[in-house]
Structure formats: structure tokens, C-alpha cells
Amino acid sequence: MRAIIAVFLAFFMVNVFIQQGNCDFYFKKHTSKKTKVLGFSWENCGKSDDPAVLKSLALSPDPIVFPGDLTASAAGTTTVGLVAPISLNVTLHKEVAGIWIKVPCVEELGSCHYPDGCQLLDMIFPPGQDCPEPLHTYGIPCHCPFKAGDYSLPKSDFDLPDVDLPYWLTNGNYRVEGVLGSQGQELGCLKVTLSLHSK
């Protein structure tokens, strides 16, 4: 994706649920299950003058199944250059009996503050290696800094791996809100809503 950090933020918040790898965002105690993500939706939740805005993000099919295939496209813009450190405040809510309950931050998962989102990108995409496909094909950077301008990911296909979820991440409806900031100023805000089902 030729995506600004707002696009990466969207995928990072989804990665809270679906990313598989060496990151420290996962409990050691987990089980492998067939997982479905249903009703994925997103919206900008920032101020009207926020410099980083996600213009479009489309994921299909619905439900998204792990393991399986995913088709994605995205577009965004930033009016300022985005350089480290960029803070990331993530707020995770789960719906329980019709009430949205805030999930606390435990072992860097949940409603957490991350001092530098650029370091999170480095964890997902190790520095010194080529950016993964389709970023590499399109010549799209996957690390900070991101220059000011418009970014877009053409419709692209991804192979989704099997997923290891934290044992406490049970079926249900979730909302994830991420706020990017730098030097005390808000850069952008994105909210993702989805339903998680595994068996």
C-alpha cells in the first residue's frame, strides 16, 4: 500500500486481532482457532483540521476468514511530514450485555499508549529488509518518515495466515480507536469496529 501512517494505523489496529509474528503484543498462553472477522467498518474520528486522514479503506470478503484470502484497497493523505517519534494511543472496547466496556492495557495489548508508532512499524516490518508485497512492488515505504502528500493502495490480494489469538480474546463485538500524535498535537484519529468469531 502506498499508504500514509493513517493507513498503517488501520491495519495495525486490525493486527491487534489478526497479526501473527514475533511481536510482544501476544500472550504466551493462546490457542489456535479458525477465526472470522465480520462487519469490519471504519471512520475518521479526529478534528476537521487533523493533517493525517484516511480517505478510503475497503476489505473483502465479509466475513474475513483466517486462514484465507483478503482483497484490500486504501487511500489517505497527510498535509505534514510524519517523523518519529509519533505517539499512538489505542483504546479498545468490547460489547458486554449491550454495554461497551473498556479493555485495560495488559502486556501491551488492549487500551494502551505507545510512545512511538514508528517503532511498531519496525516490529511488523523489520528494518533492513525489503518491504513485503505488495508494498515492494509499488515502491511504497513501510517505515517512518512519511512525506506529506497523497497515498493510495490499488486493489490488492493478500494471503492470510492461521492465527494465534490471546486466550482471553473471546467472540464478540469490538471497537478500536487509535489517535496519532506528535509533540502534543493530534495528527489523526481512526476508529475500527468489527465482530470476532473463532472456533
pLDDT of residue 20: 32
Is 25 inside a domain boundary? no
Tell me how crowded residue 152 is: count the other CB atoms within 10 A of its CB: 18
CATH of the domain at 175: 2.70.220.10
- Listing DSSP states for 95-157 in one string gives EETTEEEEEPPBTTBSS-EES-HHHHHHHHS-TTSPPPTTHHHHT---SS-B-SEEEEEEEEE
Examine residue 111 and state whether it is found in any structural domain, yes or no: yes
pLDDT at residue 195, as a whole number = 92
Q: Scanning the structure block, which residue is given the C-alpha cell 517523523?
A: 83
Give the model's pLDDT for residue 33. Answer: 60
- Residue 54 counted as domain residue: yes
Quote the domain boundaries for residue 154. 5-20+30-198
Q: At which residue does the C-alpha cell 473463532 appear?
A: 198
| Distance in angstroms (rounded) separating the CA atoms of residues 189 and 199 | 32
| Per-residue pLDDT at 19 | 35
Tell me the pLDDT tens digit for each residue of 8-45: 444 444 443 333 333 333 333 344 567 888 999 999 99
- 15 in any annotated domain: yes
Amino acid at 173: N
Residues pairing with 109 in the sheet:
106
Residue 39 lies in a domain: yes
Distances (CA, A) of 25 to 91, 97, 114, 120: 15, 27, 12, 10
**Which ranges of the chain have pLDDT less than 50?**
1-31
Look at the chain and report how many structural domains it folds into.
Answer: 1
Consecutive H or E run containing 16? helix 5-18
CA distance 86 to 84: 5
pLDDT value for 190: 92
Query: Would you state the pLDDT for residue 198?
Result: 81
Are the CB atoms for 9 and 176 separated by under 8 Å?
Answer: no
